[in-house]
Amino acid sequence: MQRQFERLMRLVDDLLDIERLARGKITLRKERITLGSVIEAALESGRTLLAARVHTLTTSVPGACAYIIADRARLSQVVTNLLHSAAKFTPPGGKIEVTAAVEDNQAVLRVRDSGRGILEEILPHIFDYFVQEEPLSEAHRVGLGVGLALARQLVELHGGTIEARSAGRGMGSEFIVHMPLAAEQNASQEMAAAGPGAEVSAPVAARKVLIIDDEHDVADSTASLLMRSGCEVWSAYDGQAGLEAALKHHPDVALVDIAMPDMDGYEVARQLRQSLPDIVLIAITGLVQESDRVRARAAGFNHHLAKPASISEIKKLIESSSRQQDQRK
């Protein structure tokens, strides 16, 4: 029932988006974000279908920290549509691969599958509205043939391009999205280069802070900036290591990524809340829909920031939490 409900909601949302695009009513809320945060959000929303079809999903995202100027929700919708298309036309037990890279000053996302492939005569029209190949079986006759068309229009609204490739029937498919990089695409270098007069130099109330994030560069650069602001900081690169560090150091604040391997941020938050009831938990994640915020609150998070969170936002929350903790004491 849950899967069928999600499919119905996707059909309704797609039809509404067709109408919005036709009327020019879609407004992009662009911000400086990482390609990795977009992929993270899409993988989270696509897990139900992938699990139901028993697909093997692999990711290779060395370019995940590439920065782009985009609407996070809309670009995540593009990747989700590509994943759903791959899952729909790949037999149970098939393989789906998501990769990201930086090529020729562009962020490049690829979604490959080991499915039935695309016929040569269909390939030039695959991004047209209501174009569909026959599904693998009646059981998989779902969708309206609008997901890929929406993906193309949303990518083009961002100034990017999308293409489809296939060697034919039984040879799988590959969808490639090219997006222009932000003018300053390396956030870690930007933050590390911040001088004494930059916003990062302003001190905050000294607090013990734990950062749990499987992106080492993000965790380390954030830790460096917070230490320069007067905080005592520890970094952990997976959920279990984060829990062990928390029990050892008893931090006042924990910055926790959500989509991590083995143990996600929700479970980390639940266990931290049990062990350290007064800790301030801040989710820093690419999952930014209202349902994601509700789930984060239910897991025990006090605050929810979208990746990439600015250091000023983080410091404001630490300062606010410090005042509240002092008042309780």
Q: Mean pLDDT: which of 25-39, 172-186, 215-229, 238-252 is highest?
A: 238-252
Instruction: CATH 3.40.50.2300 in the chain: give the residue spans.
Output: 187-328
Kindly report the CATH class assigned to 2-180. Answer: alpha beta
Side-chain half-sphere CA neighbours of 242 within 13 A: 33
CA distance 235 to 211: 5
Is there a cis peptide before residue 308, judged by omega within 30 degrees of 0?
A: yes
Name the band, by pLDDT with cuts 50, 70 and 90, for residue 111.
Answer: very high
Average pLDDT over residues 106-120: 92
CA distance 6 to 152: 22
- Lowest model confidence (mean pLDDT) among 102-111, 275-284, 318-327: 318-327
Q: Are 54 and 117 in contact (CB under 8 A)?
A: no
CATH number of 187-328: 3.40.50.2300
Partners of 212 in the beta sheet? Answer: 236, 256
**pLDDT for 301-314, tens place per residue?**
999 988 777 788 88
Would you say the pTM of this structure is higher than 0.75? no
Instruction: CATH 3.30.565.10 in the chain: give the residue spans.
Output: 2-180
Q: Are 245 and 272 in contact (CB under 8 A)?
A: no
- C-alpha dihedral (195, 200, 204, 208), degrees to nearest 10: -100
- Lowest model confidence (mean pLDDT) among 56-60, 66-70, 151-155, 183-187: 183-187
> To the nearest whole number, what is the mean pLDDT of the chain?
80
The dihedral built from the CA positions of residue 251, 255, 258 and 259, taken in this order, carries a sign that is: negative
Name the percent of the chain lying above pLDDT 70.
73
**pLDDT for 190-247, tens place per residue?**
444 443 334 444 445 558 999 999 888 778 878 878 887 778 899 999 999 999 999 9
CA distances from 257 to 223, 238, 250, 304 (A): 14, 9, 18, 10
- Lowest model confidence (mean pLDDT) among 9-13, 34-38, 135-139: 135-139
